């Protein structure tokens, strides 16, 4: 990165798009931390300790963020079912950026996941305008590389969007939960957007939930952060298909999500104001909240006001924690069955039932079981993990359309060698300066090659390159030579494995040639 770039890095420069996430744009991300604040992606750091044997991309913080990965890690630790799925738009040759995703799928499969990989051919045709002939050619190349990198096709599932009937049915059902205004808000679609492009979005929603068609299970979608808008929508749609919504409640009146913590705090403080400590009344809590400025100060004025009013209206009703099941779109039979199965004290209302003796987790499990028993999908919200984008070998973004910026998995190994040798580095102008100041591995595409790929599972090796570079003991000429040789070896080996995978692929039940001809 040059100094001029740094100057625009701070406050939003006009037109700065550093955190705009656009699945079909050329989004680059200059500040990954912003994704945490602006989109609610969580830092992977927070869950890595819960992963039994984290992948090197996790250990090196190349996988930097996640949504809801905890439930996947839990399943992994407890030997419960979970799934991993990702998709590939066959718009060009698979390259070393895709290899990261292939590795993530394969690794999850090795950790026990039901693994899925799909060719997003409908999306490539609709959103990128590729012809079916081009798509067929590239589709095969993605699958061969995935197999060569260790995907177990007997255990896992491979499909093309266009050839998967069940997927299309699911897409259709999910489409019934979404509307154009949402697409407008999320993707910037407008009156000019063609309908097939929109259809490719519902298809991706179906991809993401497809592993749960047979059985609900935590599912991780490894992707780049540009795909996060899809994740947010998929998580939303998954929830919208659910029969019941389980929440915590404190009285017959409904408190919304930002009110509930305040009510919970008021309940916890009941001994301070309730005449009968075992049975605080709503009105007592309201009075106390009005007077206890300390507690109320931590909440929005509007929230406090609304909570106080609701509690006042409830009057002498006891304030009492409970689990509430809302009927969102359950059949009558399913709602009846749920009521039957709630153990212990319960109260049935129009459209919801309150349970006083079960905990949240039991309630969630029950709601899911009843839904599935009555023909619902029972989707659990899909999880995601996000990896950093690799820098292009020539600096800037790694792009399929600039051959020198990336290494294709199909590149002649000698070309791979040459591309590494020609790459930009984080080195200093002269060898002396480099010895004196050290190089800048954090700004070096060659160092990235080591960390993302060439060092493989060997952390010590990756760290040694980093330390030697930063300490000035490593000079770029030798460093690139070493990387170039490793890259050449990797490509040779990978391509050999691709050849071996040819036969395997022929025998698999995955459509290689679409019947759509020259459109
Ligand atoms: N939209 C993805 C891309 O541009 C491809 C894709 C389609 C995908 N379906 C998916 C990715 C499901 C993850 C999960 O590359
Ligand atoms: Fe990059 Fe290697 Fe040069 Fe360091 S020594 S700047 S890692 S090429």
Token reading at 449 = 């090659």
- Pocket mutation for ligand 2, best pick of 427, 440, 462, 463 (most atoms within 8 Å of C-beta): 427
User: Would you say 82 and 220 are in contact if contact means Cβ atoms under 8 Å apart?
Assistant: yes
Q: Residue 453 forms beta bridges with which residues?
A: none
Cα of 420 vs centre of ligand 1, distance in Å, is 29
To test the ligand 1 pocket, which listed residue (22, 26, 83, 86) has its Cβ within 8 A of the most ligand atoms? 86
- Please report which confidence band the pLDDT of residue 10 belongs to, taking 50, 70 and 90 as the band edges: very low
Instruction: Write down the pLDDT at residue 26.
Output: 65
More confident position, 127 or 27: 127
Q: Which ligand is nearest to the CA of 229?
A: 1
Q: How far apart are CA 104 and CA 97, in angstroms?
A: 12
Query: Do the beta carbons of residue 22 and residue 383 sit within 8 Å?
Result: no
pLDDT at 185 over 50: yes
Q: Ligand 1, atom 10: nearest CA belongs to which residue?
A: 87
Nearest to 86 by CA among 384, 325, 372: 384
Average pLDDT of the segment spanning 481-503: 98
Q: Which atom of ligand 1 is nearest to the CA of 24?
A: 4
Choose among 208, 204, 212: nearest CA to 81. 212
Average pLDDT over residues 141-165: 97
Residue 89, ligand 1, Cβ within 6 A: yes
- pLDDT band with cut points at 50, 70 and 90 for residue 15: very low
Sign, CA dihedral 285-289-294-299, equals positive
Half-sphere exposure of 459 (CA within 13 A, CB side): 9
pLDDT band at 2 (very low <50, low <70, confident <90, very high): very low
The mean of the pLDDT values for the chain is: 92
- The token pair at 469 is 């570079």
SS3 265: helix
Letter string b/e over residues 224-240, b meaning 16 or more CB atoms within 10 A of that residue's CB? bbbbbbbbbbbbebbee
For residues 331 and 209, what is the distance between their CA atoms, to the nearest angstrom?
22
pLDDT score at 21: 81
Integer Cα distance of 430 and 453 in angstroms? 28
pLDDT-derived band of residue 7, with 50, 70 and 90 as boundaries? Answer: very low
pLDDT-derived band at 460, boundaries 50, 70, 90? very high
**pLDDT at res. 193:** 95
Does residue 237 surpass a pLDDT of 90? Answer: yes
Nearest CA to ligand 1 atom 11: 87
Residue 380 and residue 71 in contact, taking contact as beta carbons nearer than 8 Å = yes
3-class SS string, 93-149: CCEHHHHHHHHHHHHHHHCCCEEEEEECHHHHHHHHCCCHHHHHHHHHHHHHHHHHC
How confident is residue 34, by pLDDT bands cut at 50, 70 and 90? confident
Which one of the ligands is nearest to 449 CA? 2
Q: Is the pLDDT of residue 519 over 90?
A: no
- Mean pLDDT for the stretch of residues 243-264: 94
Q: In angstroms, rounded to a whole number, what is the distance separating the alpha carbons of residues 212 and 233?
A: 17
Counting Cα atoms < 13 Å in the Cβ hemisphere of 265 gives 17
Model confidence band, residue 279 (pLDDT cutoffs 50, 70, 90): very high
Whether the predicted model's global pTM rises above the 0.95 cut: no
Measured between alpha carbons, how far is 169 from 268 in angstroms, rounded to an integer? 48
pLDDT greater than 50 at residue 9: no
**Centroid of ligand 1 to alpha carbon of 480 (angstroms):** 33
H/E segment holding residue 160: strand 157-160
- Tokens, residue 402: 């600039």
Which of 6-10, 87-91, 326-330, 494-498 shows the lowest mean pLDDT across its residues?
6-10
| pLDDT(5) > 60 | no
What separation in angstroms does the CA of 228 have from each of 30, 71, 115, 169, 275? Answer: 16, 18, 20, 24, 51
Q: How far apart are CA 285 and CA 278, in angstroms?
A: 13
Ligand 2 pocket member 439 (CB < 6 A): yes
- DSSP category for residue 451: I
Question: What integer is the mean pLDDT of 443-454?
Answer: 97
Would you give the DSSP letter of residue 49?
Answer: G
pLDDT of residue 459: 97
DSSP structure string for 429-448 = SSHHHHHHH---GGG-HHHH
Among 22, 27, 87, say which to mutate for ligand 1: greatest number of ligand atoms within 8 Å of CB: 87
Q: Is the CB of 87 under 6 A from ligand 1?
A: yes
What's the gap in Å between 204 CA and the centre of ligand 1? 6
Q: What is the distance between the alpha carbons of residues 305 and 518, in angstroms, rounded to a whole number?
A: 64
For residue range 391-442, what is the model confidence (pLDDT) as tens digits?
999 988 888 778 889 999 999 999 999 999 999 999 999 999 999 999 999 9
Question: Residues with Cβ < 8 Å from 212, sequence gap 6 or more?
Answer: 83, 219, 377, 378, 379, 380, 382
Compute the distance between CA of residue 221 and CA of residue 108 in angstroms, rounded to an integer: 10
Contacts of residue 379, Cβ cutoff 8 Å, sequence gap at least 6:
209, 212, 216, 238, 239, 241, 242
Residue 158 has pLDDT above 60, yes or no: yes
CB proximity list for 375: less than 8 A, separation 6 or greater = 331
| Residue 87 CA, ligand 1 centroid: distance in Å | 4
Report which of residues 21 and 319 the model is more confident about.
Answer: 319
Q: Which of 78, 71, 51, 74 shows the shortest CA–CA distance to 63?
A: 51
Evaluate: CB of 342 within 6 angstroms of ligand 1.
no
Q: What is the mean pLDDT of residues 200-221?
A: 97
**R_g over Cα of the chain:** 27
Report which of residues 313 and 31 the model is more confident about.
313
**Cβ contacts of residue 77 below 8 Å, gap of 6+?**
50, 52
**CA–CA dist 128, 111 (Å, integer):** 34
Q: At what angle do helices 282-291 and 301-314 cross, to 10 degrees?
A: 150
pLDDT band at 296 (very low <50, low <70, confident <90, very high): confident
Q: Which residue's CA is the nearest one to ligand 2's atom 3? A: 476
Could you tell me if residue 129 is left (phi over 0), alpha (psi between -120 and 50 degrees) or otherwise beta? left
Task: DSSP letter for 178, please.
Answer: -
Cβ of 446 less than 6 Å from ligand 2: yes
Range 12-38 average pLDDT: 68
């Amino acid at each position: 990165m040059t100094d001029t770039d740094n100057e625009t890095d701070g406050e939003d420069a006009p037109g700065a798009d550093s955190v705009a996430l656009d699945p079909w744009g050329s989004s680059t991300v200059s500040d990954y931390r912003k994704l945490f604040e602006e989109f609610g992606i969580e830092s992977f750091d927070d869950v890595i300790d819960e992963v039994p044997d984290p992948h090197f991309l996790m250990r090196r913080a190349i996988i930097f963020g996640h949504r809801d990965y905890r439930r996947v890690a839990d399943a992994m630790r407890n030997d419960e079912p979970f799934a991993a799925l990702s998709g590939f738009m066959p718009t060009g040759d698979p390259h070393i950026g895709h290899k990261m995703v292939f590795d993530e799928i394969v690794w999850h499969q090795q950790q026990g996941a039901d693994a899925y990989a799909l060719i997003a051919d409908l999306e490539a045709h609709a959103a990128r305008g590729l012809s079916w002939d081009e798509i067929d050619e590239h589709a095969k190349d993605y699958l061969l590389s995935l197999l060569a990198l260790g995907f177990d096709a007997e255990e896992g599932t491979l499909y093309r969007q266009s050839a998967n009937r069940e997927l299309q049915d699911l897409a259709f059902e999910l489409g019934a939960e979404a509307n154009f205004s949402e697409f407008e808000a999320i993707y910037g679609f407008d009156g000019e957007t063609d309908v097939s492009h929109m259809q490719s979005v519902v298809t991706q929603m179906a991809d993401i939930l497809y592993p749960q068609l047979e059985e609900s299970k935590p599912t991780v979608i490894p992707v780049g952060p540009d795909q996060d808008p899809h994740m947010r929508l998929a998580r939303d749609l998954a929830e919208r298909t659910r029969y019941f919504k389980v929440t915590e409640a404190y009285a017959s009146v409904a408190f919304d999500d930002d009110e509930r913590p305040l009510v919970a705090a008021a309940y916890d403080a009941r001994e301070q104001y309730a005449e009968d400590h075992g049975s605080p009344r709503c009105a007592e809590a309201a009075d106390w909240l009005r007077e206890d400025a300390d507690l109320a100060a931590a909440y929005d004025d509007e929230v406090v006001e609304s909570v106080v009013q609701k509690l006042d209206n409830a009057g002498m009703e006891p304030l009492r924690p409970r689990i509430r099941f809302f009927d969102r779109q359950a059949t009558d039979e399913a709602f009846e069955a749920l009521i039957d199965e709630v153990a212990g004290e319960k109260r049935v209302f129009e459209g919801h039932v309150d349970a006083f003796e079960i905990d949240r987790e039991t309630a969630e499990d029950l709601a899911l079981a009843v839904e599935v028993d009555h023909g619902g999908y029972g989707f659990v919200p899909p999880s995601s993990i996000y990896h950093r984008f690799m820098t292009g070998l020539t600096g800037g973004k790694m792009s399929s359309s600039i051959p020198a910026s990336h290494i294709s998995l199909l590149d002649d190994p000698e070309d791979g060698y040459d591309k590494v040798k020609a790459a930009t580095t984080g080195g200093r102008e002269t060898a002396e300066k480099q010895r004196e100041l050290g190089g800048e591995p954090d700004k070096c595409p060659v160092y990235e090659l080591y960390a993302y790929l060439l060092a493989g599972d060997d952390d010590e090796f990756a760290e040694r390159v980093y330390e030697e570079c930063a300490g000035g003991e490593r000079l770029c000429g030798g460093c690139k030579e070493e990387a170039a040789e490793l890259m050449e070896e990797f490509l040779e080996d990978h391509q050999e494995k691709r050849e071996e995978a040819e036969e395997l692929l022929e025998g698999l039940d995955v459509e290689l040639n679409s019947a759509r001809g020259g459109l």
